[in-house]
Amino acid sequence: MQIKYLPEKCIGCRLCEMACSGVKEGVFNPSLARLQVASRYKAYKLVNEAKICDSCQSCVRACSTGAIKFEEGRLVFVKDDCVKCGACFEACPTGVLRPGGDEFPLLCDGCQGDPYCVKWCPHGALILEEVG
Amino acid sequence: MAGYQDLVLRVNLTTGKVATESLNKEWARDFLGGKGLGIKYLYEEVGPGVEALSPENKLIFMTGPFTGTIVPCSGKLGIITKSPLNGYILDCSIGGSAAVEIKRAGYDAVIVEGKSDYPVYLLIEDGQVELKEAGDYWGLCCHDTEEKLKKVYGDDYSVLSIGPAGENLVAYACITSDLYRQAGRGGVGAVMGSKMLKAVVVKGTGAVRAADAKKLMDVTYNAYKNDLLTDTNLWAYTDGTPMIVELSQTTGILPTRNFQQGTFDQFANIKSEAVAAAREAKKGCVSCGLGCGNFTRVGEAVVEGPEYETLSIAGSNCGINDLGAIVKFNANCDAFGLDTISAGGTIAFAMEMTEKGIYDFGIRFGDADKYVELPELIAKREGLGAELALGAKKLAEKYGGIEFAMQVKGLEFPGYDPRGAWGMGLAYATAPRGACHMSAWPVADEAYGEGNPFTIEGKAEMVKDLQHYNAAKFSLILCDFWALSFDIMAEMLSALLGEEVTAQSLEQAGERIFNLARLFNTREGLSAKDDVLPARIHRHPLATGSTEGKTLPEEEFIKMLLEYYSIRGWDNNGVPSGEKLQELGLR
């Protein structure tokens, strides 16, 4: 399963980011969310954009210590194995993977198949989709 | 304290001094945040007799305990100051993203004091706060100001700005944010202009903490799915406020031709379906979940709206039946920084004055070509605009027609005719800032619901209860469009703070806040003589529709007002009794 973003349905509420940081970090802070949504007016048009992890596994391949793994269809982060080298951030093609306050990667594990961002999205802009 | 940042940012524009201080926790407990806490700070810091446009007045931007959390519909920012219209308390709110940015920057409130000698803007980047010279921005419209600032700082900054109307101290100038959101009513933009503060630019990257985030999320998710995202509230998403046009038309309270009629022949041109046809996208404030914003384009004019208040007061009430003209007028008000309600109400008054031959303002009902050009003239105080900038009350004092200058305490009427909703008359007369639909909205029951619109029975109690409800809700801060119970508010607040808050204590906080607003006003000399409606409401029967022939008779109104004072524990002159103040902890 993969999280998919439908920009035309997004109202820019950012409850997805609030929910993600709340459940993963225990505080409400979009800067600590595993996804990033922006809904802004540019040149008198509404532009909705999002960065969402699509499990491409570039970070897994870039991780030299095995701290980031792909197991049973999900990304897994082993904090004890991370040396904060930053290679995963460099490798992420969308830039959605960011460091948190402690510099460890804010890795999306899809909330074990029941992502909070999707649950909190009010009008179906974030959906879960079968892969392949 | 969970839910709060425990920090107030205080900026003195006279000295250029920027300082922080602890949030007064006792006040936060009693007055919650937003509207209530802002009124408390202003009550304590701005004494009687201070001129609203003087350096001694303060401009308070206040967030609430729910701001920046998972609680939906909590994204609005309270703006509290002394009103330039009447010297009474003025509280407004603005949607968009600014409230969340201020809170994430680490502040519950920003209090702006004094007056700069030259135009400035306030830059807040987390703990870094700076006053910057704004000469290059002074004179620009709101959209241009915001876009220019975002070019410098980035799209992820929030901007609160004023347009030329605020700079020129027009008494109904607004503050704009996220291009299309406004703190519209009562002239908050003029206060900002009087301080030479062109804009506030803010970006926060910090967190907001709950006592137990998981618990807050669980409690809130239940309310979110089973209460917020239900048919009771989702009209805000499917239609937004334009839906009210048809309701008002049917019930005969759609202001038409300066409140001479309660129905508009061409209402179909301005009703929800017409707005929806021109809609490009839906947009909500940060944390919203509903998404009431209708991003609408007609020709080159774009707005988030037009809202019902604009469609009615600046539409049917000006005899304008062309949605394109209303959108253009709305866009011009937004650009130049004017409240569409007071602008529309003042123009409608001038139109009737002209048609009645009392004074020729050169503009008549339905004159769309002239009407769309007026916001710029008003904002710049040029030509006819210099007169209209006075607002309906002062215009009437100058040229006559006070009986049909549709205002209370200098604030022009919003879009509900009280002759077809008698409780709404009481709400207008007793709202702290003047004729206002945000202090209580009894029309939902008495006109649009099952209630009887043409009776005073039960209305005093209804208006009182609604005033407490809104005072509590707008202090937490939650949006008007989530019709939630005190129980749900209390449940979410308890989880946020990690201590038990009861529905009853929230209701009492609402009453406390409403009474403090009253105390602010009575300290300025307000009394029963000011809780009045324009004579038209008592003496001129409505001309059309289901309310044809109706008035709100003055003796009925006075009876309702005195009953209202009595159940509030106020004396016959509208002053809160010592006993009531004691009960609410206000003495």
Interface test with A, best of B217, B230, B328 (most A CBs within 10 A): B217
- A75 and A10 in one domain? no
Residue B242: phi and psi, rounded to 5, are -55, -20
In terms of residue numbers, what domain contains A4? 1-52+108-132
Average pLDDT for B360-379: 98
The model's pLDDT over B97-148, given as tens digits with 9 standing for 90+, comes to: 999 999 999 999 999 999 999 999 999 999 999 999 999 999 999 999 999 9
Question: Which of B104, B178, B285 is nearest residue A29 as measured by Cβ atoms?
Answer: B104
Distance CA B334, CA A41 (A): 15
Question: Which of A25, A29, A46 is nearest residue B280 as measured by Cβ atoms?
Answer: A46
Distance CA B163, CA B176 (A): 8
> B532 pLDDT band (50/70/90 cuts)?
very high
Cα within 13 Å of Cα(B516), Cβ side: 27
Question: Cβ–Cβ of A27/B155 closer than 8 Å?
Answer: no
The number of residues making up chain A comes to 132
pLDDT at site A130: 83
Q: What percent of chain B has pLDDT over 90?
A: 100
Residue A103 within a domain:
no
Question: Cβ–Cβ of B282/A11 closer than 8 Å?
Answer: yes
In the predicted structure, residue B561 carries a pLDDT above the cut 80? yes
User: Quick one: closest CA in A to B292, which residue?
Assistant: A11
Distance CA B585, CA B90 (A): 22
User: Quick one: closest CA in A to B222, which residue?
Assistant: A120
- A112 and A129 in one domain? yes
The model's pLDDT over A113-124, given as tens digits with 9 standing for 90+, comes to: 999 999 999 999
In the predicted structure, residue B547 carries a pLDDT above the cut 90? yes
What's the mean pLDDT when you consider all of chain B? 98
Question: Cβ–Cβ of A27/B207 closer than 8 Å?
Answer: yes
In the predicted structure, residue A131 carries a pLDDT above the cut 90? no
Domain total of chain A: 2
Residue A21, CA distances (Å) to A37, A115, B69, B490 in order: 13, 12, 10, 23
Q: At A68, which CATH number?
A: 3.30.70.20
In the predicted structure, residue B238 carries a pLDDT above the cut 70? yes
Question: Which CATH entry fits the domain spanning B8-203: 3.60.9.10, 3.30.70.890, 3.40.1110.10, 3.40.50.620?
Answer: 3.60.9.10
Q: Tell me, yes or no, if B234 comes closer than 8 A to chain A by beta carbon.
A: no
| Radius of gyration from C-alpha coordinates of chain B | 22
Question: Cβ–Cβ of A31/B302 closer than 8 Å?
Answer: no
- A59 and A71 in one domain? yes
User: Quick one: closest CA in B to A25, which residue?
Assistant: B213
Three-state SS for B380? Answer: helix
What's the mean pLDDT when you consider all of chain A? 95
Enter the ipTM: 0.97
Average pLDDT for B62-69: 98
Q: Which of residues 67-106 of B touch A (CB under 8 A)?
A: 68-70, 72, 104
- A120 and A81 in one domain? no
- A60 and A34 in one domain? no
pLDDT at site A43: 82
| CA angle, residues B58, B30, A13, in degrees to nearest 5 | 75
- A4 and A40 in one domain? yes
Q: In the CATH hierarchy, which fold is given to the domain comprising B211-233+408-533+553-587? A: 1.10.599
Question: Which CATH entry fits the domain spanning B240-406: 3.40.140.10, 1.10.569.10, 1.20.58.760, 3.30.2270.10?
Answer: 1.10.569.10
- Provide the residue type at B558 as one letter: I
Average pLDDT for B60-87: 97
Question: Which of B213, B237, B302 is nearest residue A22 as measured by Cβ atoms?
Answer: B213
> A132 pLDDT band (50/70/90 cuts)?
low
Distance CA B271, CA B253 (A): 14
Residues 6+ apart with CB under 8 A from B128: none
Residue B496, CA distances (Å) to A19, A59, B204, B211, B517 in order: 14, 36, 21, 6, 27
Residue B532: phi and psi, rounded to 5, are -130, 160
Measured between beta carbons, which residues in chain A are less than 8 angstroms from residue B214?
A: 22-23, 26
In chain B, which residues fall in CATH 3.60.9.10?
8-203
pLDDT at site A1: 83
Q: What is the dihedral of CA B229, B234, B237, B241, to 10 degrees?
A: -140
- Provide the residue type at B571 as one letter: D
Residue A86 within a domain:
yes
- A60 and A48 in one domain? no
Residue A89 within a domain:
yes
- A44 and A8 in one domain? yes
Measured between beta carbons, which residues in chain B are less than 8 angstroms from residue A46?
A: 280-281, 283, 295
Q: What percent of chain B has pLDDT over 70?
A: 100
Average pLDDT for B552-574: 98
Residue A101 within a domain:
no
Residue A99 within a domain:
no
In chain B, which residues fall in CATH 1.10.569.10?
240-406
Question: Which of A12, A27, A123 is nearest residue B213 as measured by Cβ atoms?
Answer: A27
Residue A108, CA distances (Å) to A66, A115, B520 in order: 16, 9, 51
